[in-house]
Amino acid sequence: MGNISTFKFFILSGLQDSGVYKPLYFLLVFVLYILIIIVNLTLIFIVTVDRSLHEPMYIFICNLSANGLYGTVGFYPKFLLDLQSDIHTIAHSWCMIQTYVIYSSGLSEITVLTVMSYDRYVAICRPLQYHSIMFPRAVLKLLILACVTALFDVFYSWDGSGNLPIGVRNALSIQFLIFPPLLNPIIYGLQLPQIRGKMLKYRL
């Protein structure tokens, strides 16, 4: 019996209709990805460098930004390559890796947001005990040992979705990879006066 090699590939059909707009799509996605990287790295840099920001809330925000970068790495590089190519395929193993990165990023984001909510609850409702509850080891445990029992894969299954153009359906299906990585560091981090002041200090 001879050796048999099996190659498993998936054909990505969502980009077939992009046609002459592919260069424009590539430019828009590339600019978006660069913005996501810059915003998140700026926040991570400020929180890491400035010791006055080494408090639970800012550490959680920093983790949210790091997770945003991790999740987008699982999608944007391959997507940009596909926008430059006429053949849209992905090996089964790479597809599984991409799926793992994206879903684990979503799970981590839910976990960090949950821990941030708990942190704010303690700060508001038990302010005198805040530092005894949210000490560094407790923060580390909350970030590492928090457990989410289920992560649901939400499909856009509303009536008539099959009648939408494929480009619109694709955009709707990946919106969680567009808005949270870009808006989370702005909403939760760069809007805070303490962090904005540090940006001016470091001239970022």
**pLDDT of the residue at 140:** 65
* pLDDT, averaged in runs of 10, over the chain (204 residues): 58 64 86 93 91 86 91 89 79 84 84 83 81 70 52 43 62 68 75 76 68
Using a cut of 0.85, tell me whether the model's pTM lies above it. Answer: no
Burial bucket for residue 60 (CB in 10 Å: 0-12, 13-18, 19+)? buried
The rounded distance, in Å, linking the Cα atoms of 154 and 152 is 6
**pLDDT of the residue at 147:** 42
**pLDDT of the residue at 156:** 46
**pLDDT of the residue at 148:** 40
Q: Which amino acid is it at 202?
A: Y
**pLDDT of the residue at 45:** 92
Residue extents of the structural domains in the chain: 19-201
Which of 172, 184, 31 has the alpha carbon at shortest distance from 106? Answer: 184
**What H or E segment, with its residue span, contains residue 83?**
helix 76-83
CATH architecture of 19-201: Up-down Bundle (1.20)
**pLDDT of the residue at 27:** 92
Contact 101, 70 (CB under 8 A): yes
The rounded distance, in Å, linking the Cα atoms of 113 and 116 is 5
A 10 A CB-CB count for 112 gives 24
**pLDDT of the residue at 102:** 85
